[in-house]
Amino acid sequence: MIKVKLSGIYIITHEPSGKYYIGMSRDIFSRWGSHYGSIKTAAHSSTSFMNLFLQSDITDWSFRILESHSFTKYKKDNSLSGQAAVSAFRTFLLTREKYVMSLYSKNFCLNKNNKHFS
């Protein structure tokens, strides 16, 4: 079985309140799993996100991909390889995450310290 990693920017929304968490990852589906794991062990970096998640039903939440980006295409387009490609792609995703977050209201943000909001 080949495991395909989907890279990009995602949003996890608590539908009843409209509160959300925006993040980026080179492997979004794995990242969603790590969010859940850190919430269940009370170790998530965003206590606001963790507490709301624990106080609500899983069906209250939606998980959406806002942007997807191909690491392979990024490497090819930028003529990069190895660790240089990994570092540059992470910087690219962080820049995209910051831009996407600037489009949302920080009043509903569940990210730790409203990271990346303007």
> pLDDT tens for residues 65-118?
999 999 999 999 999 999 999 999 999 999 999 999 999 998 899 998 776 665
If you average pLDDT over residues 51-55, what whole number do you get? 96
Q: Token pair for residue 100?
A: 């996407």
In a domain, 16, yes or no: yes
Phi, psi of 19 (to 5 degrees): -75, 150
Position with higher pLDDT, 117 vs 31: 31
Contact (CB, 8 A) for 14 and 52:
yes
Domain presence at residue 21: yes
CATH of the domain at 65: 3.40.1440.10
**Which letter does DSSP use for residue 113 in this model?**
G
| Whole-prediction pTM | 0.91
Beta strand 7-14 pairing with 19-25: antiparallel
Segment 22-48 shows an average pLDDT of: 94
Confidence at residue 115, expressed as pLDDT on a 0 to 100 scale: 66
Task: State residue 114's pLDDT score.
Answer: 72
What would the mean pLDDT of 5-33 be, rounded to a whole number?
96
The answer to whether residue 70 is domain-embedded is yes
Domain count, the chain: 1
| pLDDT score recorded for residue 4 | 74
User: What is the maximal distance between C-alpha atoms in the chain?
Assistant: 47
Amino acid at 52: L
What torsion do the CA atoms of 117, 103, 40, 32 make, to the nearest 10 degrees?
Answer: -120
Token pair in block for residue 68: 């997807």
